[in-house]
Every structure is written in C-alpha cells, then in structure tokens.
Amino acid sequence: TTFPKQFPDDFLWGGATAANQVEGAWNVDGKGLTTAEVVRKTTDRKHMSMDDVDKESIQAALADKSAADYPKRRGVDFYHHYKEDIKLFAEMGFKVYRFSIAWSRIFPNGDDAQPNEAGLAFYEKVIDELAKYDIKPLVTLSHYEMPIALTLRQNGWLSRDTIKAFNHFTETVFKRFKGKVPYWLTFNEINTGTWGFHATGVLDSHETRAKQLQMRYQALHHQFVASAIATKQLREIDPKAKMGCMLARMQTYPGTPNPVDVRAAQLEDDKNLFFTDVQARGEYPEYMNRYFAENKIEIKMAADDEAILAKYPVDFISFSYYMTTVTKADEGEQVNGNMATGGRNPYLQESDWGWQIDPIGLRVTLDEMWDRYRKPLFVVENGLGAVDQLTSDGKVHDDYRIDYLRQHIQQMKEATEDGVQLMGYTMWGPIDLISFSTSEMSKRYGFIYVDQDDQGKGSLDRIKKDSFYWYKKVIASNGEDL
C-alpha cells in the first residue's frame, strides 16, 4: 500500500458558478423566467430572501419588468462576458469549470415540445470556449432554479409530472453535448429542498411546519427519481460521461460528550447524509424510514421507483463545504447566521454572515464520507463570502480569502494522504457573483472582482484580486505551493 503525499496528477482544480448568479440576460433569446428571478434582494444578512416567496410575491415579480429588486436577473452578465471570463479562468490554470444550465433557456415553460435553439447555442459556445483552453466542463443540471411556469401550474417538484419535463430537458442536453461534457451533476445541494422554495419550486411558506416537511420530502422523492432517470439516460447516450450527486454537507458535532448529545448529533448527521445514501447506495436507509414514520411523513412512490433508484446510483459524490455546526439534545446557543442553523462552536470563528469556519472539519467529513461510500468524492464548492475593498490603484488585497482557501486545501491534502479518493476541487465563485441566500453583490467570493454594486451600478469591469495570483500558483504546483 502506498500513501500518496500529493494530489494526484489528474486532480481537477477549478471554480464553480450557477446560471442564475452569473449570467444575467434574463429576458433575451427566448429564455423563460425562473424561480430564482422572482426572489427579491434582502439587506438582512441573517435572513434568506427566498423564504418569503408566495403566490402574491410572484405576481408582483411578474409585473415588474426590471432587474432592480431582483439581482439574479442581472447576475454579472456572464452571458455577454463569457469569453473574457473563461480566458481569466484559463490564465489561473483551471482544469475544470463547474457551471449550471438554466432549464428555462432550453425549455422556457419547462415542458415545451421543442427546445429553444438559442439557449442550446449559448451553452455550446461556452463549452467550445472552454475546450480551447482544455478546461473540462462539470455541468449542474439544476442549480436552485426552474421555469416559473412549472411552479405556477403544478407547484414545482411536488408534482410527479415535473419528473417527465425535467428528464426531457436532461435528455435534450445529453444528446446535444454528447462527448463534450465528462462530468454532470443532477441537483445542486439536494438536501436543501427541506428548507423550501429555492430548490424545489414548491410554494408552502404559509403551511404548518409538519405540512411543509410532508410536501418537501415528497418533492425530494421526485427529484431522486428524476436524478436516477437522468443517470440512466446518460449511461445510454454518453456512456463515458460520469454522473454525480451534490450535497450541502453540514457536518455536525455533539455539543458535549453527554451520550444524549452524541445521539442527537448522529441523527442530525444522518438526516444530512440521507441524500447521498439514497443517491449513492440506491435505497432509502432504514433510519430515515423510522424518522418519516415518527413524523407522520408519508412518501408516495410509484411501482418501479425503488427499482430505478437501486439500478442507477451515481458514479461519484460531490458536495459543498462551508461550515460545521454543533448539535445538543436541548438546543443551546444557536448561531445566528443565514443558512447555518445549528449550534455555536466556541472553538471556531465566523464569517460576517455567521458561517462557522472549520478547515479541519473538511478532512473529517472527507474521511467519513469515503469510508461510508467508497465512491470518488469531489469538493465542488468551498469559499469565503466577504466584503472586499477595491483600492484606488485598482487592487484587492484579499489575504483573508487566501488564508481561508489555503487552510481548506491543506486539509484536503491530509485527506488524500488518509487514502480518500478525491477527484478535484472547484472553489465557489471564482468570479464575484450574486449571492444565493441574500442576492447581495457585496458578498464576494471571487478571485476576480466585478465592478458592480448592490444597486446594479458599475462598469462590470473584471479586476484580478491578490488571490487570483495565489490560486494560479497553487494550480501550477498541483497544490504544493500554498
């Protein structure tokens, strides 16, 4: 047995974005409106702006034809800047670029009979541009958006009909991009479908908590099935390409050594890993069936759902990693951050948005997940959202971001040495983009600064931050020069 001390030679270094956070061009070339584009921005950093969406707010959004209050309509105009942006990614030495395809560019209403050629042509140009620099595409099929028509007509993923519409979309893009996309992901952070609208397009903000859970797990079951069908399609259409699932990994620690806290943390962790259990092992785990029974959640399945889940598990497991939490049997002090819903860990620092920064937790989770699944792992999101200052001579000195990334990459290296099979690392937001949870522009993740403010004003110029030069060095040395 050998213990590799380095990242493998074919390690996939790169960055990750999502259509609705970078593209803009929300109403051109035949594109339909998406669920992400009816979410208003918020200035409350402890809040998630999509929590308030309901029928009335959607009607108001449909009547509003501007992007002013809906920043995901403008993104950072990647739609018109993709050549310049990809050139910058190439300059850093990217081996892979993770992006998502907006379903509504291809099928504006979700279930149109014919695809929109202009939408397919756009992604084809992006993929061909990447090929010029030998950057491999890693494509997410559903990243926190769907055609709004499907929400209005059938309450998004709550309807079983959405499976068929989605798989028509997946079949269309697999056929069109056959041989050009080696890695695909079905649903971004699939587990966050238990939080609400953004991931499933289900309108339930006025329901009781019990009813919400019932609706959300049912919608998620439909996503599991659609994901397995997509995997089947990919195997038939483009057998060399690999399919992955994608989890927002939320490792949690017991608040104390008290066994009741240890058990509470185990259950929390299981509820997170439930999603990869289904998608990688191909069946609902027993512990979750018990949880459903105890919470009176009933999942309606069609006759061959279980068979299709069992037959088409994913090839690899990808996840995002930003933070860890602490769990106690009786809750204790909670972190007051958006998305971070668990308990506070006194040993960790927090970002300005209350996300508890924990590089060692990345090694812990990589080691545990490798042990649990024995399938290749891919860290497809990790990064630091921060307020950056552009100096008068056009520089951004973001040493805090370099520190954050360095420490996480060091821990990935440790995990590799522990024997974990790690395919790659796509840092989140290589170019500044619109925040998912608040729709702010000023929560920046990038190696590349974009001159645009929260009101959408600015030249959209791209400016290299200090971290740009640092990441270039990291990639050139295959993670040795940190």
- At its nearest, how many Å lie between ligand BG6 and the CB of residue 18? 5
Q: How far is the CB of 374 from ligand BG6 (least distance, A)?
A: 25
Residue bearing tokens 């079905």:
186
Assigned token pair, 203: 């309108």
In this chain, which residue has its C-beta nearest to ligand BG6? 437
- Which CB sits closer to ligand BG6, 18 or 230? 18
Can you tell me the distance from the alpha carbon of 236 to that of 434, in angstroms, rounded to the nearest whole number?
Answer: 36
State in angstroms the smallest separation of the CB of 193 from ligand BG6: 12
Give CA torsion, residues 245, 107, 96, 76, to 10 deg: -120
From CA 43, how far away is CA 129, in angstroms rounded? Answer: 36
Kindly tell me which of 221 and 249 has the beta carbon lying closer to ligand BG6: 249
Q: Which is nearer to ligand BG6, 82 or 99 (CB)?
A: 99
Minimum Å gap between C-beta 206 and ligand BG6 is 24
How far apart are CB 103 and ligand BG6 at their closest, in Å?
15
Q: Is the CB of residue 402 less than 8 Å from the CB of residue 470?
A: yes
Strand partners for 464: 448
Q: How far is the CB of 20 from ligand BG6 (least distance, A)?
A: 8
The residue among 144 and 284 lying less far from ligand BG6, judged by its C-beta, is: 144
**Length of the chain in terms of residues written:** 482
In angstroms, give the least distance from the CB of 93 to ligand BG6: 23
Print the SS3 string covering 43-76: CCCCCCHHHHCCHHHHHHHHHCCCCCCCHHHCCC
The tokens describing 153, both together, are 């007509």
Q: What CA–CA distance (Å, rounded) separates 213 from 162?
A: 19
d(CA 292, CA 303): 19
For binding to ligand BG6 (CB under 6 A), which residues are involved?
A: 18, 21, 144, 188-189, 248, 320, 381, 385, 428, 435-437, 443
Give least dist CB 405 to ligand BG6, A.
Answer: 14
Q: Cα–Cα–Cα angle for 383, 384, 387, nearest 5°?
A: 145
> 358: number of CA atoms within 13 Å, CB side?
25
Measured from the CB atom, the residue of 142 and 231 that comes closer to ligand BG6 is 142
DSSP string, 74-119: TTT-HHHHHHHHHHHHHHHT-SEEEEE--HHHHSTTSS-SS--HHH
d(CA 358, CA 364): 10
440 part of the active site: no
361: Cβ contacts below 8 Å, ≥ 6 apart: 251, 321, 323, 324
Q: Write down the least CB distance from residue 355 to ligand BG6, Å.
A: 8
23, 145, 381, 440: the catalytic one is: 381
Q: One-letter amino acid identity for 303?
A: A
CA 51/CA 212 separation, integer angstroms = 12
Strand partners, 13: 425
**CB contact set of 30 (below 8 Å; sequence gap of 6+):** 105, 108, 116, 118, 119
Q: Name the residue nearer to ligand BG6 (CB basis): 378 or 428.
A: 428
Answer for the pair 219, 171: CB distance below 8 angstroms, yes or no.
no
Pick the closest to residue 187 from 138, 227, 235 (CA basis): 227
The alpha carbon of residue 108 and the mean position of all alpha carbons in its chain are separated, in whole angstroms, by 22
Q: Please identify, using beta-carbon distances, which residue of 127 and 248 lies nearer to ligand BG6.
A: 248
The CA–CA distances, whole Å, from 332 to 45, 262, 357, 389, 479 equal 22, 14, 19, 36, 39
Q: Which is nearer to ligand BG6, 264 or 335 (CB)?
A: 335
**Catalytic residue numbers, as ranges:** 381
